[in-house]
Amino acid sequence: MPDPFYTQVVSLVQLVILLLIPLEILLAATVRIRAEYELRDTLASVLVSAGSIYFWGVLGWLFMGGVFFAYAHRLFNVPFTWWSLLIAFVLDDGRYYLWHRVSHRSRWFWASHVVHHSSQHFNLSVNLRQSWTSQFSGLTLLNVPLAFLGFHPATIGLAFSVNLLYQFWIHTEAIDRMPRWFEWLLNTPSHHRVHHARNPRYLDANYAGVFMIWDRLFGTFVAEDREEPARYGLVRDLTTFNPVRIAIHEYVAIARDLLRPGLTLRQRFAYLLAPPGWSHDGTRYTTARLRAAEAARRERSRPPAGPLAAEGVQSLLVAP
Amino acid sequence: MLELSIAIGANLLIGALAALLILRAGNRRAQEPRLADPGAALELFRDRFPEAAGVATITADGRNALIELRGGSGIGLLQGHGLRWNARVLEPGDLASVRACAASALRLKFADYGGPRASLSLAHPDERSAWLARLQVLAGSTRRQREGSLHHA
């Protein structure tokens, strides 16, 4: 089992990493790196973060309880070594991909994760917008298989923490692109800008935590296109900076839909579990519908092919 | 519990430091963008709804616009949200109520916990009463929709 020293190191690193937020603000104001901060948005993020830490502290046992239970019934004894930590880290990253993908594709889980996507800015402070309800959404169960395999809960906790800490630096516009090999293998600010964008072609893409390989493997990778800058936020943006509303608005929306009179049981289940944007009467937009609408719009705005288009090209060529 | 308090405290402290730096950098509420004219409002609205066309009415503070969308596609609402703009098409079911208040304002209440209300100040009385009537029709359809659903149930 890992020494408590590791936990202390992780906590310290976490604190130091948080200081990168004021540093980014400072650099944006002095040497003009690309970073846009807005007072109320950042304050909302800080308050959401305080709530998130509180609920993690209070309900964290749900996460650790499941993991300890599985570990008590483990299949193997995996020793704590550098290679077991590495294996745990890679497997946990796979777990993160799955968690993240489900969090975007099913409304109940999205209601928890939407908090992280609620800012219309993309800077280091966006890291602070974390869910208040991740402990009881049910996805903490995804941490159980590693413990069942025989990885010690502290190893799992360490892999989990390092994964989250890695993701801190990718929430920035200040870094354009990393070297090509790095962009191929690992999650980067460029990949994560795509993930936080609400442009239809960028929606539901780049779920990876650390290794981009999961997205490449499962067909969810979308590269950032310089011609189409990311527009951040939600498909239907919030018009509030109130941290409580930010944290629970989607649950309220779900409750309202579930309480609608006249729905079948199947429709109620769909309002709870179907992809965000699903509606029984088709009046709302899922990612698939948004993409289809965008594709149709692009098709309509494309210049017609044939003699007229050729004429257009010629007139461009002779224009002074 | 002590560890939890320390974690939250450290978080708030860094948040306070960040807020201080943002204020020092001059990024305040006063710098919130304002709409220069109806054309600018439409252009911003098209950022979200690229094919939208219509006639925009800007509020007195330049922070919101109501848009009568062409072709009977409804009412568009552009709202300033800090440094950003939010655009939405108001549909039956979205608007819970609308009422006129003193100081030329229209108060809109939405059936949306993530965007519960808007206050739109329209300088011209004619514009104000026209929009009030238009929005009341929409709010009425929301009410009828609810009552219809209840009746159906």
Same domain membership, residue B143 and residue B89: yes
* Structural domain total, chain B: 2
Closest CA of chain A from B12, distance in Å: 6
> What pLDDT does residue A1 have?
54
3-state secondary structure of A91: helix
Mean pLDDT (chain A) is 91
Percent of chain A with pLDDT over 70: 92
Same domain membership, residue B41 and residue B13: no
* CA pair distance B118, B145, nearest whole angstrom: 22
Nearest CA in chain A to B92: A283
The first and second tokens of residue A2, run together, are 């890992």
> What pLDDT does residue B146 have?
61
* CA pair distance A52, A128, nearest whole angstrom: 9
Tally the residues of chain A: 320
> What pLDDT does residue B148 have?
53
> What pLDDT does residue A305 have?
65
**CATH at residue B115:** 2.30.29
Same domain membership, residue B56 and residue B8: no
Same domain membership, residue B71 and residue B10: no
Whether chain B has a CB inside 8 Å of the CB on A46: the answer is: yes
For the beta sheet containing B64-69, the strands, ordered from the edge strand earlier in sequence to the opposite edge, are B54-58, B64-69, B75-81, B84-90
- Taking CB atoms and an 8 Å cutoff, what residues of chain A touch B8? 50, 53-54
Same domain membership, residue B133 and residue B80: yes
Closest CA of chain A from B146, distance in Å: 9
B30-70 pLDDT tens trace: 478 999 999 999 999 999 999 899 999 999 999 999 999 99
Select the more confidently predicted residue: B104 or A262: A262
Residue A141's CB is within 10 A of a number of other CB atoms, namely: 14
Same domain membership, residue B75 and residue B22: no
**Which residues 109-148 in chain A show a CB within 8 A of chain B?**
120-121, 125, 128
Whether chain A has a CB inside 8 Å of the CB on B2: the answer is: no
Whether chain A has a CB inside 8 Å of the CB on B123: the answer is: no
- Span A4-8, average pLDDT: 66
Is B24 in Cβ contact with A239 (below 8 Å)? Answer: no
Same domain membership, residue B41 and residue B27: no
Same domain membership, residue B76 and residue B137: yes
- Span A215-220, average pLDDT: 98
Q: Which domain holds residue B24?
A: 1-31
* CA pair distance B125, A271, nearest whole angstrom: 42
> What pLDDT does residue A313 have?
38
Same domain membership, residue B117 and residue B94: yes
Same domain membership, residue B72 and residue B47: yes
Same domain membership, residue B69 and residue B13: no
- Span B130-148, average pLDDT: 81
Whether chain B has a CB inside 8 Å of the CB on A248: the answer is: yes
Whether chain A has a CB inside 8 Å of the CB on B24: the answer is: yes
Is B150 in Cβ contact with A42 (below 8 Å)? Answer: no
Question: What are the contacts of A214-218 at 24+ separation with CB within 8 A?
Answer: A214/A93, A214/A94, A214/A97, A215/A97, A215/A191, A218/A97, A218/A101
Which residue stretches of B25-124 are H helix? Answer: 38-48
- Taking CB atoms and an 8 Å cutoff, what residues of chain B touch A252? 113
* CA pair distance B75, B71, nearest whole angstrom: 11
Amino acid at B18: A
Is the pLDDT at A216 greater than 70? The verdict is yes
> What pLDDT does residue B147 have?
59
> What pLDDT does residue A314 have?
38
- Taking CB atoms and an 8 Å cutoff, what residues of chain A touch B152? 261-262
Select the more confidently predicted residue: A223 or B147: A223
Ramachandran region of residue A279, left (φ > 0), alpha (ψ -120 to 50) or beta? beta
Is the pLDDT at B110 greater than 70? The verdict is yes
Tally the residues of chain B: 153
- Taking CB atoms and an 8 Å cutoff, what residues of chain A touch B116? 240, 245
Whether chain B has a CB inside 8 Å of the CB on A245: the answer is: yes
Beta strands B105-110 and B95-100 are antiparallel
Confidence of residue A138 (pLDDT cuts 50, 70, 90): confident
* CA pair distance A148, A141, nearest whole angstrom: 11
Is B112 in Cβ contact with A38 (below 8 Å)? Answer: no
3-state secondary structure of A153: helix
> What pLDDT does residue A311 have?
44
Same domain membership, residue B134 and residue B62: yes
Lowest-confidence range among A3-7, A101-105, A157-161? A3-7
A54-97 pLDDT tens trace: 998 888 888 788 899 999 999 999 998 999 999 999 999 999 99
Amino acid at A142: L
3-state secondary structure of A226: coil
